Amino acid sequence: MASGTLTSTEYIRHHLSNATFGRHADGSWGMARSAEEAKEMGFMAVHVDSMFWSIFLAAVFLFFFTRVAKNISAGVPGKMQNFVEWIVEFVDDSVQDSFTGKNKLVGPLALTVFAWVLLMNAMDLVPVDLIPWLFDKAGIASFQKVVPSTDPNVTFAMALSIFALVLFYSVKNKGFGGFAGELTLHPFEAKNIFVKVLLIPINFFLEFVSLISKPISLALRLFGNMYAGEMIFILIALMLTAGPVIGVFGGGLQLIWAIFHILIVILQAFIFMTLTVVYLEMAHQTDH
């Protein structure tokens, strides 16, 4: 375990640091050799591990679902087909319960969001030292965060992509004037034109805050829950090096937390998918 040569603080920082590629202070480009170097690289630095694992898990999702779709059988389905069909039906029922508009994108988007976020969250169930240890043995990287949803760059990227779709369909379905009116003429209304004009700045402030809070809350909710779960796994892993008695207790605690964390992994994927569908439903509403 990495903690054998690190203090507790160094061990925690090691597991919470990303493999970062960017520009060094001397102008050269390369991988950060410490958390301090990664911080100095600034905004344009790339978290290579988050990029790799998120793209890898997206490829896993596409591979298995495409394979099942190509080999689907009308007879007695196999275990993989049963599993994929169960997920598709679950997502389809959720979409039908939350979305009343007509948009062929929403269903596939909901399925992609749910499966992708679920796979990223599930990486939290992999022992915290296993993959970093394998990468260190291969000489690939000293840092390796394998749970993309514990990186705010990933969660905000997904949330902002959903937000862009919300803005696009809001303008498309309501028109620019209708969307602008939604932001400036609600929630306070008045028949007097002078009062209505006075209320526009107040309405805009309230509605704009509500609008901007959607992607922020979407990203921070997923990040916060998964980051906290990862931190608990790391703290429990430290107990395994504190002697046989505490180590055995830590092992049991690790198992209990992993079982409980399965619920969090699934729940956070479901919440992200549901909020995505709900926000798109609001973008398609034209009755105001």
> Is 141 among the domain residues?
yes
- Decide if 217 is catalytic: yes
Longest Cα separation, the chain? 77
> Is 39 among the domain residues?
no
> Is 4 among the domain residues?
no
Confidence band, pLDDT 50/70/90 cuts, at residue 2: very low
> Is 92 among the domain residues?
yes
Contact 131, 230 (CB under 8 A): no
List pLDDT tens digits, range 16-74.
888 899 998 888 898 888 778 888 888 889 999 999 999 999 999 999 999 988 888 77
Q: Using the predicted structure, report yes or no on whether residue 210 has a pLDDT greater than 70.
A: yes
The domain of 158 spans 51-284
List pLDDT tens digits, range 235-251.
888 887 777 778 788 78
Q: How many domains does the chain have?
A: 1
Catalytic residue among 71, 210, 213, 217: 217
- Mean pLDDT, the chain, rounded, equals 88
pLDDT at position 186:
82
Question: Average pLDDT in the 226-237 region?
Answer: 89
Q: Using the predicted structure, report yes or no on whether residue 226 has a pLDDT greater than 50.
A: yes
List pLDDT tens digits, range 35-46.
788 888 888 899
Catalytic residue among 18, 50, 121, 225: 225
Confidence band, pLDDT 50/70/90 cuts, at residue 257: confident
- Decide if 225 is catalytic: yes
pLDDT at position 255:
86
Confidence band, pLDDT 50/70/90 cuts, at residue 277: very high
Least confident of 16-20, 141-145, 284-288: 141-145
> Is 207 among the domain residues?
yes
> Is 27 among the domain residues?
no
Q: Give the β-pairing of 29-31 and 46-47.
A: unpaired
The phi and psi torsions of 147 (rounded to 5 degrees) equal -110, 95
- Decide if 221 is catalytic: yes
List pLDDT tens digits, range 93-131.
999 999 998 899 999 999 999 999 999 999 999 888 788
> Is 14 among the domain residues?
no
Q: Using the predicted structure, report yes or no on whether residue 1 has a pLDDT greater than 50.
A: no
> Is 46 among the domain residues?
no
CA gap 43, 100 in Å, rounded: 40
CA gap 109, 29 in Å, rounded: 36
CA gap 81, 60 in Å, rounded: 15
Contact 176, 284 (CB under 8 A): no
